[in-house]
Structure formats: C-alpha cells, structure tokens
Amino acid sequence: MTGTGGMSAKERAYRDTKARILDGSLPGGDLITEGQVADALAMSRTPVREAFLRLEAEGLLRLFPKRGALVVAVSPSEVEAVLEARELVEGHALTKLCGSPEADRAVVADALHEVLDIQRAALAAEDEPAFAEADRRFHITLVESARNMILLELYASLRDRQLRMNLGSLDRGPHRPHEILAQHEAIVDALGRGVADEAVLRLREHLDATRGAVVGRTAGAGGASALGR
C-alpha cells in the first residue's frame, strides 16, 4: 500500500530526510542543503524545499536564509521540554480516563493490556523493533483515549523527538526493557483500578527513568543546574 512508487516527491523527500535525522544518519549540527537532498533523491529542489519547511515546523530542522538547513542538535533543555510535555499530555489522558465511565476506561485498559501482551512477547523473543513498536503503540493508545486531535498531533511530534534523543544513549542495558515493561504494567494496573493519582505517579516514574536513560544521569530532585532564565 505505502509503496514508494505511489508517493509524491514531496512525501518522499519528507520521509527520507526525516528518517535520516531520526536514525542519526544526519547528526545534529550538520548543515544540509536543498540541492544535496534533491540530487540524492533525483528530484528538483521544489519538493525538497517543502519537506524542509515541514521539518522546520516540527523542530527537527532550522532554516537559515541563504545559508542552508541546520539539523538541530538535541539540547538538554529540549530533552526536558519534551519529557515535560509528554508527562503533561499522557498524564492528562490518564486523569481524564479515570474520570470517565468505567465502561470506557475498561475498553482502553483492555487495549493497553493487549499491547502489553505483544510487548511481553517481543521482549521474550528479543525482537527489538517489535518491542519499540509496542512501546509506541502503548503510549499512542493512551493519548488517543483522550480524543483530542490537537493533543494527539502534538504527541506524535513529541514521540519523534524522543526517538532521536534515545539515539545518543544506547547504553540502556539489557535490563532497561524489563523495567519499561514493568512500568507500563504499573500504569495500566493503576488505571484499571481507576486511581488517577497513582497512575500519574507511575507515569512520572516511567518518564523519569526515560530521562535518566537519555541524559545518563538519573535526575534526582534538585536539578538546579544552569537554570539561568
């Protein structure tokens, strides 16, 4: 269905460039040009230009007039901003869900359980891509339950940025997947019991662990480093 053949040039330029940024082929700080990408993909600059514009809106590229496009490097403040926004949006979904009729909540909980089964299986089979995909499904399902397109779109963009942040720290030991799964289970468990506060707390723990894996140092409580302003 999604064969590359039936895709517009603009779409190809967008996906290809985005993929290269997200998987690290284009490291942060790199300066790329429309011409380069256009040549590489055998198309004119026009579609590439539109792709660049879109990527800039998503915060992956920064365009400098007459100079080129800079692949933005992930900064500590961006890591913090992404995690804070994720906590806000996912936490909101959890809270909203816990205040919904139990029937609705059960539907979502079931869906989440299903995803967790898949994730568990992926972990057992040591299928890393499947595990990552299940992880994605888990969080997306959660946010979808809030039925707010604006927040859902924001969240999609946050996930992309998160992907890139994870690259820098591939040191997540073999233990980390188990931790992730356990934290997911804790969240769903609290959700199943309808205890919003605990669900949000579990979510925070989960994201804190993510932060620790990304910055390499598990953030305690202070973190009053170079706050400046």
Partner DNA sequence: CGGTCACCGCATGCATACAAGATGCATCGA
Partner DNA sequence: TCGATGCATCTTGTATGCATGCGGTGACCG
Interface ranges with DNA (CB under 7 A): 8-11, 32-36, 43-47, 49-50, 63, 65-69
- Over the window 30 to 59, marking each residue x when it contacts its own copies by CB under 8 A and - when it does not, the resulting string is -------------------xx--xx--x-x
Q: At what angle do helices 176-192 and 76-98 cross, to 10 degrees?
A: 30
What residue 115 binds from DNA, its own copies, none (CB within 5 to 8 A, per partner kind)? none
One DSSP character per residue, 184-206 reads HHHHHHHHHTT-HHHHHHHHHHH
Neighbours of 199 (CB within 10 A): 26
Binding mask 119-148 for its own copies (x = CB under 8 A): ---------------------------xxx
User: Six-digit token pair at 13?
Assistant: 């330029």
Shortest Cβ distance from residue 99 to its own copies (Å)? 4
Q: Does 7 bind its own copies (CB under 8 A)?
A: no
Site string for its own copies, 168-207 (x = CB under 8 A): ----------------------------------------
CB of 13 to DNA, least distance (A): 8
For position 228 contacting its own copies by CB under 8 A, the verdict is: yes
Q: Shortest CA distance to 199 belongs to which of 113, 78, 90, 124?
A: 90
- What, of DNA, its own copies, none, does residue 47 touch, CB below 5 to 8 Å by kind? DNA
Q: What are phi and psi of 64, to 5 degrees?
A: -110, 120
Where do runs of H (alpha helix) occur along 23-127?
Answer: 34-40, 45-57, 76-98, 102-124
